[in-house]
């Protein structure tokens, strides 16, 4: 049990998800437990010239169904996703600005890349028609902090507000830093997570040039295969995962439904390479160890790890090593899964959506699987919950995310 007072313990009371597998947390979770795959051929642009032609899109999406049409036109797709996920999480929490002090409600919803749709469309307008054709809303739409600002404007939340940018660790950093704000007494409530919409021609051309993404275009459903022999790269996803965090004292006072406690967090750097993880897993291992220490959770109490698990040759092997570094002899008995096998990789949105998964894991006592795991890499020899969801008795879970630049983040959730 925590030794912190209730005013410093941070709990999760609201969940919001926008993803191709479900445009709310419950539908999304049901898809994961069923082992559904959200990856298919890209429809947002013609992918034919690209080495990678598949992704996990949010299909059938019209932002104007969820926000003011004028505001939707002025903002980027990444903001649409984050804004709508935040509104869902706020509604799910049962909070109301009619009874909250707006100075005590903050927002930290980050994006690894920001407004790529805006950047590309406005650059084309500049190229084709000259500077007068560029929209005056271009800069606000593409910058990576604007989603937090739009959420705050909608709700009237005047507490801490900014956007974190740390590549694929963004969403997890946003949650962890928000946890610290509540513990410091800077806010009673924080809306936190990550959002991304980078399934665009320029982003795909760039990642293809790096040879970072899978080229299994003929079989999208099995292209993302974390921890498997023959894995050849990640698959891009898009969407958002946003959580409402509040102090346990605040949640108890209003009789809130509590999903779980966000009990620990840590951030470290590999200081090794701009894109390749530390081959000994030292930086990520330190993040996991420090997150567990900050949570007061022993390694033998962890019942599940949501891995970064990108399906790249280096990440999966080195993350496995990092888990072994932290858990020692127990590593092979801790269930680990990569839900990116179904969601694709949401870059800056990954930590948010995977933290929603952790909350649902504790709520439902069910572990989402790693699908497409039929031929494991001998160097990836942990229990990756292969192919089929599993019932389990879980009281604490750990989630990892790694970002380009060698940035690592880990969070620990536990039952309350």
pLDDT digits (tens, 9 = 90+) for 295-315: 999 999 999 999 999 999 999
Here the CATH number for the domain that contains residue 202 is: 3.40.47.10
Please say if 345 is a catalytic residue: yes
Query: Which of these is catalytic: 80, 308, 358, 380?
Result: 308
pLDDT greater than 80 at residue 195: yes
Q: Is residue 308 part of a domain?
A: yes
Do 213 and 350 sit in the same domain of this protein?
Answer: no
pLDDT greater than 80 at residue 1: no
Tell me the per-residue pLDDT of 269-279, one tens digit each, with 9 for 90 and over. 999 998 888 88
pLDDT greater than 90 at residue 15: yes
Do 93 and 207 sit in the same domain of this protein?
Answer: yes
The whole-number average pLDDT for the span 27-47 is 98
Name the domain count of the chain: 2
pLDDT greater than 80 at residue 347: yes
**In whole numbers, what is the pLDDT of the chain averaged over residues?**
97
Query: Residue 377: how many CB atoms within 10 A of its CB?
Result: 18
Tell me the per-residue pLDDT of 157-186, one tens digit each, with 9 for 90 and over. 999 999 999 999 999 999 999 999 999 999
pLDDT greater than 70 at residue 126: yes
Q: Which domain holds residue 89?
A: 10-253
* pLDDT band (50, 70, 90) for residue 280: confident
* pLDDT band (50, 70, 90) for residue 124: very high
Provide the pLDDT for residue 2.
81
Whole-angstrom Cα distance, residue 200 to residue 188?
37
Tell me the per-residue pLDDT of 208-248, one tens digit each, with 9 for 90 and over. 999 999 999 999 999 999 999 999 999 999 999 999 999 99
Do 208 and 115 sit in the same domain of this protein?
Answer: yes
Q: Is residue 3 part of a domain?
A: no
Q: Is residue 259 part of a domain?
A: no
Provide the pLDDT for residue 413.
98
Query: Among residues 253, 278, 302, which one ends one of the domains?
Result: 253
Q: Is residue 2 part of a domain?
A: no
Do 235 and 349 sit in the same domain of this protein?
Answer: no
pLDDT greater than 70 at residue 355: yes
Provide the pLDDT for residue 39.
98
* pLDDT band (50, 70, 90) for residue 20: very high
The whole-number average pLDDT for the span 387-411 is 97
Q: Is residue 241 part of a domain?
A: yes
Do 294 and 397 sit in the same domain of this protein?
Answer: yes
Please say if 208 is a catalytic residue: no
Q: Is residue 258 part of a domain?
A: no
Do 304 and 170 sit in the same domain of this protein?
Answer: no
Do 104 and 241 sit in the same domain of this protein?
Answer: yes
Do 295 and 222 sit in the same domain of this protein?
Answer: no
- For residue 342, what are the β-bridge partners? none
Query: Which of these is catalytic: 84, 345, 358, 380?
Result: 345
Do 240 and 308 sit in the same domain of this protein?
Answer: no
Q: Is residue 317 part of a domain?
A: yes
Query: Among residues 226, 253, 280, which one ends one of the domains?
Result: 253
Q: Is residue 5 part of a domain?
A: no
3 state SS for the chain = CCCCCCCCCEEEEEEEEEECCECCHHHHHHHHHCCCCCCEECCCCCCCCCCCCEEECCCCCCHHHCCCHHHHHHCCHHHHHHHHHHHHHHHHHCCCCCCCCHHHEEEEEECCCCCHHHHHHHHHHHHHHCHHHCCCCHHHHHCCCHHHHHHHHHHCCCCCECCCCECECHHHHHHHHHHHHHHHCCCCEEEEEEEECCCCHHHHHHHHHHCCECCCCCCHHHHCCCCECCCCCECEECEEEEEEEEEHHHHHHCCCCCCEEEEEEEEEECCCCCCCCCCCCHHHHHHHHHHHHHHCCCHHHCCEEECCCCCCHHHHHHHHHHHHHHHHHHHHHCCEECCHHHHCECHHHHHHHHHHHHHHHHHHCEECCECCCCCECCCCCCCCCECCCEECCCCEEEEEEEECCCEEEEEEEECC
Do 151 and 295 sit in the same domain of this protein?
Answer: no
What is the percent of the chain with per-residue pLDDT over 70, rounded to a whole number?
Answer: 100
The whole-number average pLDDT for the span 385-391 is 98
Do 242 and 272 sit in the same domain of this protein?
Answer: no
Please say if 250 is a catalytic residue: no
Query: Which of these is catalytic: 168, 260, 358, 380?
Result: 168
Do 229 and 286 sit in the same domain of this protein?
Answer: no
């Amino acid at each position: 049990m925590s030794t912190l007072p209730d005013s410093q313990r941070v709990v999760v009371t609201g969940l919001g998800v926008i993803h191709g597998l479900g445009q709310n947390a419950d539908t999304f979770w049901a898809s994961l437990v069923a082992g559904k795959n959200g990856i298919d051929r890209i429809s947002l642009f013609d992918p034919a010239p690209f080495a990678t032609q598949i992704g996990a899109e949010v299909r059938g999406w019209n932002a104007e169904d969820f926000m003011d049409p004028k505001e939707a036109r002025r903002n980027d797709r990444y903001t649409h996703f984050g804004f709508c996920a935040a509104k869902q999480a706020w509604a799910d929490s049962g909070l109301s600005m009619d009874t909250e002090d707006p100075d005590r409600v903050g927002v930290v919803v980050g994006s690894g890349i920001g407004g790529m749709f805006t950047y590309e469309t406005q650059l084309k307008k500049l190229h084709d028609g000259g500077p007068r054709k560029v929209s005056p809303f271009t800069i606000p739409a593409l910058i990576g902090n604007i989603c937090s600002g739009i959420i705050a404007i909608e709700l009237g939340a005047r507490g801490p507000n900014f956007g974190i940018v740390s590549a694929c660790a963004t969403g997890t950093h946003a949650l962890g830093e928000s946890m610290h704000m509540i513990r410091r007494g800077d806010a009673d409530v924080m809306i936190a997570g990550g959002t991304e919409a980078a399934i665009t021609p320029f982003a795909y051309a760039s990642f293809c040039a790096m040879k970072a993404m899978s080229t299994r275009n003929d079989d999208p459903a099995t292209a993302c295969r974390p921890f498997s022999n023959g894995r050849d790269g990640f698959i891009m996803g898009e969407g958002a995962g946003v959580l409402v965090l509040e102090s346990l004292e605040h949640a108890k006072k209003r009789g809130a439904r509590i999903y779980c406690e966000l009990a620990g967090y840590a951030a470290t750097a590999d200081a090794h390479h701009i894109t390749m993880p530390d081959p000994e897993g030292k930086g990520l291992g330190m993040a996991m160890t420090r997150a567990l220490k900050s949570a007061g959770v022993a390694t033998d109490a962890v019942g599940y790890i949501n891995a970064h698990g990108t399906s790249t040759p280096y990440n999966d092997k080195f993350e496995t090593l990092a888990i072994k570094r932290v858990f020692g002899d127990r590593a092979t008995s801790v269930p680990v899964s990569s839900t990116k096998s179904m969601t694709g990789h949401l870059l800056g949105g990954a930590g948010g959506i995977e933290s929603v998964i952790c909350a649902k894991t504790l709520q439902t006592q069910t572990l989402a699987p790693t699908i497409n795991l039929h031929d494991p890499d001998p160097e990836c020899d942990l229990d990756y919950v292969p192919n089929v969801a599993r019932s389990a008795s879980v009281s604490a879970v750990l989630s990892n995310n790694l970002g380009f630049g060698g940035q690592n983040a880990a969070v620990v959730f536990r039952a309350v």
